[in-house]
Structure 1
Amino acid sequence: MTREERLLAAVIEAVDTLVDDFDLIDFLQALCARCTELLDVSAAGVMLEDPGGKLQLIAASDEHTRLLELFALQHEQGPCVECHRTGTARLNIDLRSPAQAAPFPVFAARAREAGFLVTHALPMRLREEVIGGLSLFDSRVQDLSAGDARVAQSLADVATIAILQHRTIAHANQQRAQMHAALTSRVVIEQAKGILAERWNTSVDEAFDALRRYARAHQLGLSQLCRRLIDGQLAADAVPRP
């Protein structure tokens, strides 16, 4: 398989995130594997923002890289941490160079202990939204070419779009589920109002007001109370008549 074919396969994998059984961890592990294959680097790792905006390690190509990335998060330093903060790529960082490693000396020392000599970090970004970073590590002293840098950023961009698209779909599904639950609850409440109004020979508004007062007094959700009434778990006489 040519490099172009492998790159196309990586894009297709990203498109597959639109299916229902999308597994984020598996997808990003595959991204790390694709990076090492296509870019001829030794290792890769992916960090993503959690809902609170804090970076979390999600995937790494091997255990040494996983521990190194966790170390970076613990000390809040390293190219990927800076890349996420600024939204700017950091390429061809010689971890042996005091000048290049000056912004993150502790991380650089730990990376060298892990056997890495060069590192790169690329933002996972769509327009102005940065959701994480892609780290690349090499045990050899070699620069990432301009072409390889474009491929790396393209992989990060495609992964970002796939993740955001999946989040959009998941959010839409959640909203539909919430709407369905709301409509179901509405039907239950209407039924309960009808039961009490018929039993008391009163208006549904008065029955509804009685249900609301009982629910508040007993710290129950209104739909929860109405389901109990309909299912016979709560006797209609238990609700005070207005």
Structure 2
Amino acid sequence: MTAMSERRRQERPASAHASVDLAAPLVCDVSVPDVLHTLTEHCVDLLDVSAAGILLDVPHGQVVEVAASDEYTRALELFGLELDEGPCRDCCGAPARISELRLDVDAACERWPRFTPRALLLGFTSVATVPLRCQDTVVGALSLLHDRPRPLDDAQLRLAQALADTAAICVIQQQVLQGQKTQIAQLQGSLESRILIEQAKGFLSNSRGCSADQAFIRMRTYARNRRLKLTDVARQVLNGAVADTLLEPER
């Protein structure tokens, strides 16, 4: 067995363990930042890179999360985000795998004139980038940074892409769930407001000897004149905290 084959055989259990870790949000409540940090840690362990960084680029092209395997790399990614340049930024804008690129060459300085010197200062000599994707949806990018001249091979880049894709699925699922929770909360709030208003209408209708529609118009006018929300007026009606004029019976 060759050294390369032996290394790949040893990596398989670790790769499987990484996939299980990254898929955890599919079956339990794990936050997106935790998923992203777990991804960077596994990349460092499995791919023999010095560091890994992530930009989460959703929704609508707005970066909502930055993660990294260590604080220095996270600061580097934030620096690139602030300057709007760097390998992750490029990968988010044109989602395709960027084969490993040397940072100590003129091409890197021309491509990322401010990001590259900062990366070199931290001791990084090369970077490769893969998108976080689920089918046609790209949610961010993963950068893999080396501090020595030993580029990633195709098998390692494929593994990096597989891990990134697993994390992307979990990120999208969490976003969908959060959207559903928000929608449910909004519907619940609307229902509670409607119940409150109906209760106040009934109270006014009985106390003023008018129809429910007339009571509603009176509440709405009262709210507009005082720049209050209708639900706040309804709550005041039920608590007896409104002006007497609103409670006066019809004449």
Residues 42-51 or 165-174, more deviating: 42-51
8 Å CA contact 1:32–1:46 kept in 2: the answer is yes
Corresponding residue to 2:49 among 34, 41, 56: 41
Q: Give the distance between the partners of 1:81 and 1:100, measured in 2 at CA.
A: 14
CA pair 218-235 structure 1, distance change in 2 beyond 3 A: closer
Aligned partner of residue 160 in structure 2, secondary structure: helix
Report the identity percentage.
36
Q: Give the distance between the partners of 1:10 and 1:71, measured in 2 at CA.
A: 28
Aligned partner of residue 102 in structure 1, secondary structure: helix
Corresponding residue to 1:77 among 71, 77, 85: 85
Deviation at 1:164, TM superposition (A): 0.9
Asked if 1:185 is matched to 2:176, the reply is no
Q: Give the distance between the partners of 1:191 and 1:158, measured in 2 at CA.
A: 50
What's the TM-score, normalizing by structure 2?
Answer: 0.88
Deviation at 1:93, TM superposition (A): 0.4
Deviation at 1:75, TM superposition (A): 2.1
Deviation at 1:225, TM superposition (A): 1.2
Residue by residue over 1:37-82, the C-alpha shift from the partner in whole angstroms, topping out at 9 and shown as x without a partner, is 1111110011112556333552111122122212212222211111
Gapped runs of 5+ residues in structure 2?
A: 1-8
Corresponding residue to 1:116 among 105, 111, 124: 124
Asked if 1:140 is matched to 2:165, the reply is no
Residue by residue over 1:74-130, the C-alpha shift from the partner in whole angstroms, topping out at 9 and shown as x without a partner, is 222211111111011112101122235431133222211111111011112223332
Q: Give the distance between the partners of 1:94 and 1:133, measured in 2 at CA.
A: 18
Q: Give the distance between the partners of 1:40 and 1:53, measured in 2 at CA.
A: 30
Q: How does 1:166-177 map to 2 (within 5 A)?
A: 166-177=174-185
Q: How does 1:2-13 map to 2 (within 5 A)?
A: 2-13=10-21
Gapped runs of 5+ residues in structure 1?
A: none
8 Å CA contact 1:96–1:117 kept in 2: the answer is yes
What's the TM-score, normalizing by structure 1?
Answer: 0.91
Deviation at 1:232, TM superposition (A): 2.4
Q: Which residue of structure 1 lines up, in the alignment, with residue 3 of structure 2?
A: none
Asked if 1:195 is matched to 2:203, the reply is yes
Asked if 1:103 is matched to 2:103, the reply is no
Deviation at 1:189, TM superposition (A): 0.8
Letter in 2 for 1:194: G
Q: RMSD value over aligned CA atoms?
A: 2.2
8 Å CA contact 2:222–2:246 kept in 1: the answer is no
Residue by residue over 1:115-159, the C-alpha shift from the partner in whole angstroms, topping out at 9 and shown as x without a partner, is 111101111222333221111101111121111111111111111
8 Å CA contact 2:98–2:130 kept in 1: the answer is yes
8 Å CA contact 1:93–1:101 kept in 2: the answer is no
Corresponding residue to 2:166 among 155, 158, 174: 158
Residue by residue over 1:177-224, the C-alpha shift from the partner in whole angstroms, topping out at 9 and shown as x without a partner, is 111111111111111010111111111011111111111111111112
8 Å CA contact 2:66–2:77 kept in 1: the answer is no
8 Å CA contact 1:125–1:157 kept in 2: the answer is yes
8 Å CA contact 2:219–2:246 kept in 1: the answer is no
